[in-house]
Chain A
Amino acid sequence: MQEAFPTEVSGSPDDLLDQVRILLRFSDPSTAGVWPRAAALLARQALESGLGELWQRRAPSVEHCSLRAQLLCLRSYIDSDTGERAAHTWGVLSRACHHHPYELGPTAGELGSWVEDTQRVVDACKDG
């Protein structure tokens, strides 16, 4: 059964990642060809939003720093594994969001594994 996009999305990191999973799993003709970039954009926003929620709770001033600074701070506030995972995932998702004329875009498999890495970072931020 074709899963429909929900009409209301909260914008929470978990909701955004669920949206990406739907995009990746179902071949909706309305998203033909645009889904890789759309998925990367949503997944990156989920990651940034997860970080934002952590900073709001633990260190509000960090939320206004650059993403690079936030990713560095993550190592101290959670642990270095999560920091590295977040930095790598944010890097590959960002690459997929930008225009690169001479490169293959990510495959559905690659995007899927980046989504799960993002979920792990988001979950770690929730517990942090």
Chain B
Amino acid sequence: MIDNPVQWMDPARIDGLARALEETAAERQVIVFTHDERLPEAVRRLGIEANVVSVTRRANSVVELRESSDPVHGYIKDAWTLISTDELSDDVRRRVVPGFCRSAIEAACMEVVRRRRLERGEAHTEVEVLLAVPGTLTRIAALALFDDPGRGGDVMARLNQWGHWAGDVFKRCNKGAHDAHPGDLHKLADDAGSLCKKLSQLK
């Protein structure tokens, strides 16, 4: 059992840690507690077999465990869960589902950028600094699509090359995070999932 191994670790060594844990797990059960996504991210990127469980604590110390997949998949799944939760009012659903779809698109863009730059040999810290710069969804999309954060103006045209549904869902998720989405939520979540898939295929 290992508690918070990544906290002070040089990001470049996290891949090495993931591999070391993989080796150990061949003979023993390995349980790691961490709040840092870098280790699960490395585990996924390196194709290491692992169960990831997320733990949230609510009011009155009620603890919730959920099986966790990659963040993109997680946000889309959450969006669908919210769509099918009858206990929520329609207005609340319309106000929160787009935000989850937006986070999925954001996470998908970040994954593309991270994978591309790490494969190119850039340092982990530099990639993280680049991704940590606060910015708009358009900026992170420009980084994913063009490897250039300054090309925000070209994002919509590039997305529309995949079909107008792509540019449309991007715009609606961006807007919808601030307002109740007036249209079909099923279509929004569906198209957001499709856009994330397209983004994940970018080299």
- Residue ranges of A at the interface with B (Cβ–Cβ < 8 Å): 4-9, 11, 16, 19, 24-28, 30-38, 41-42, 44-45, 48, 97-99, 101-105, 107-108
Q: What B residues does A105 contact at CB under 8 A? A: 56
- Inter-subunit contact B78/A99 (CB<8 Å): no
- Inter-subunit contact A19/B37 (CB<8 Å): no
Distance between B114 CB and nearest chain A CB, rounded to angstroms: 9
Distance between A84 CB and nearest chain B CB, rounded to angstroms: 19
- Residue ranges of B at the interface with A (Cβ–Cβ < 8 Å): 35-38, 41, 54, 56-60, 62, 64, 66, 71, 75, 78, 81-82, 85-89, 91-92, 95-96, 99-100, 103, 106-107, 110, 128, 177-180
Q: What A residues does B71 contact at CB under 8 A? A: 99, 101
- Inter-subunit contact A99/B87 (CB<8 Å): no
8 examples of A-B residue contacts, CB within 8 angstroms: A7-B89, A24-B58, A24-B59, A33-B78, A34-B81, A34-B82, A35-B56, A102-B38
Q: Which 10 A-B pairs have the closest CB atoms?
A: A101-B37, A9-B91, A41-B99, A27-B62, A32-B64, A33-B66, A30-B85, A99-B106, A38-B96, A99-B107
- Of A19, A32, A45, which contacts B179 at CB under 8 A? A45
Q: What B residues does A6 contact at CB under 8 A? A: 89
- Inter-subunit contact A104/B87 (CB<8 Å): no
CA A9 – CA B86 in complex, angstroms? Answer: 14
Distance between A125 CB and nearest chain B CB, rounded to angstroms: 17
- Inter-subunit contact A31/B59 (CB<8 Å): no
- Of A26, A33, A41, which contacts B54 at CB under 8 A? A33
- Of B37, B64, B91, B103, which contacts A97 at CB under 8 A? B103
Tell which of A6, A19, A33, A37 has the most Cβ of chain B within 10 Å: A33
- Of B54, B66, B92, B177, which contacts A9 at CB under 8 A? B92
- Of A31, A48, A107, which contacts B178 at CB under 8 A? A48
| A9-B92, A33-B64, A34-B81 given; A98·B106 CB < 8 A | yes
Distance between A38 CB and nearest chain B CB, rounded to angstroms: 4
CA A27 – CA B86 in complex, angstroms? Answer: 16
Distance between B137 CB and nearest chain A CB, rounded to angstroms: 9
Q: What B residues does A38 contact at CB under 8 A? A: 82, 92, 96, 99
- Of B35, B103, B128, which contacts A37 at CB under 8 A? B103
| A33-B64, A48-B178, A99-B75 given; A5·B87 CB < 8 A | yes
CA A11 – CA B179 in complex, angstroms? Answer: 10
- Inter-subunit contact A41/B107 (CB<8 Å): no
Q: What A residues does B88 contact at CB under 8 A? A: 5, 30-31
Q: What A residues does B56 contact at CB under 8 A? A: 32-33, 35-36, 105
